[in-house]
Amino acid sequence: MSIKHILFPIDFSERSSTAVPFVVDMAKRHNANVTLLSIVHPHYAGGLAGSPVIDIEKLRLQAQSELGRTFRTEFGTTPVERVSLIGDPGDTIARYAQEHNVDLIMMPTHGYGVFRQLLLGSVTSKVLHDAHCPVWTDAHTGELPDQQHLALRNIMCAVDTTEDAVRVIRWAGRMAKNLATSGTAVKIRIVHAVPGMEAWPERQMDQEFEEQIRSNARQTIERMEREADLHVPICINSGTVPDVIKEEATQHGADLLIIGRGTIQGKLGRLRTHAHAIIRNSPCPVISV
């Protein structure tokens, strides 16, 4: 795990501003460069079949000028590049990250109000789908991000039992080690959700069956821990994946949740199919790797 180039897409909204302290903190902890990226989305007269609006390049130059006035002091001595591009925001962010060796994309989820808590912003969803590098998202709420999470004293790593979990555990362990070298005392624990009895109607009264599932999962995760060279507490609980992870993250005061997002083309494990729901429910920022 190496974070030397952070991409921070911004749309000049309040939500972008509230993510700045987290980007600044991440960059300083890893001595990383930051690219602020603003994207001008072409608008078409008469629908997509029409022509682009006139002077789209002028709009890009205006965005570039506004970028030059944005967050001038917040990043201190951190090297910051400011780039404005034309295109579809989700596609452009993912493509820029791949072409410029970005190690981490950091962006808000734009969760506002009761209804918006049910959704992720379309741009965030597309980036999570298409990006090949880890993606940081803030807590998906209508409230301002809790800056207590900047402490990064408690990291929770949520895994399923697919072999890809080894990669996620190793990534989480390396992040914790990097934080420890910078003077932060980090606690890390692994969380795993097993199906509750309601998922097995024919075995609802069989407690031994549930205990066997838990035991099998623990043995598998312990093996993965050994393979990843990490030995930390394992929390296993029954229920839906997003609910279990939210409950454990809240109970243990997690400052950061790390999950495996995987690739959409690959075989999806139980946790990766719930990635968006986990991000929606998480009480703290999430890095999906």
What mean pLDDT is reported for the chain? 83
Task: With a cut of 60, say whether residue 144 has pLDDT above it.
Answer: no
**Span 212-235, pLDDT tens digits:** 888 999 999 999 999 999 999 999
> End of a domain among 108, 142, 176?
142
Task: Give the tens place of pLDDT for each residue, 154-166.
Answer: 999 999 988 889 9
pLDDT at 267: 45
133 and 158 both lie in a single domain: no
Question: How far, in Å, CA of 193 to CA of 238, rounded?
Answer: 5
Query: In this structure, are 193 and 227 located in the same domain?
Result: yes
Same domain, 205 and 273: yes
| 240 and 110 housed in the same domain | no
The count of structural domains within the chain is 2
Same domain assignment for residues 69 and 182: no
Residue 271 scores a pLDDT above 70: no
The confidence score (pLDDT) of residue 102 equals: 97
The domain boundary residue, chosen from 115, 142, 169: 142
- Helix, strand, coil percentages, rounded to 5, for the chain: 45, 20, 40
pLDDT for 268: 42
256 in the same domain as 220: yes
Q: What is the pLDDT of residue 17?
A: 86
Give all strands of the β-sheet with 135-137 in edge-to-edge order.
80-86, 33-40, 5-9, 104-107, 135-137, 286-288, 256-259, 154-158, 187-194, 234-238
Lowest mean pLDDT among 60-64, 105-109, 118-122, 244-248: 118-122
Pairwise CA distance, residues 26 & 149, whole Å: 12
- How many Å apart are CA 94 and CA 135, to the nearest integer? 10
pLDDT band at 51 (very low <50, low <70, confident <90, very high): low
Q: Do residue 212 and residue 230 come from a single domain? A: yes
- Are both 81 and 190 inside the same structural domain? no
Indicate if the pLDDT at residue 63 is higher than 70: yes
Domain that holds residue 69: 5-142
- Note whether 126 and 152 are same-domain residues: no
What does the H/E/C string look like for 73-120? CCCCCCCEEEEEEECCHHHHHHHHHHHCCCCEEEECCCCCHHHHCCCC
Q: How confident is the model at residue 200 (pLDDT cuts 50, 70, 90)?
A: low
- Kindly state whether residues 28 and 133 are assigned to the same domain: yes
* CATH code, domain carrying 59: 3.40.50.620
Same domain, 175 and 196: yes
Top mean pLDDT of 50-59, 147-156, 201-210, 268-277 is at 147-156
Per-residue tokens: 12: 């000049």
Q: Out of 124, 142, 160, pick the residue that ends a domain.
A: 142
Tokens representing residue 248 in the block: 């454990």
Residues 77 and 59 grouped into a single domain: yes
For residue 218 the two structure tokens come to 């623990």
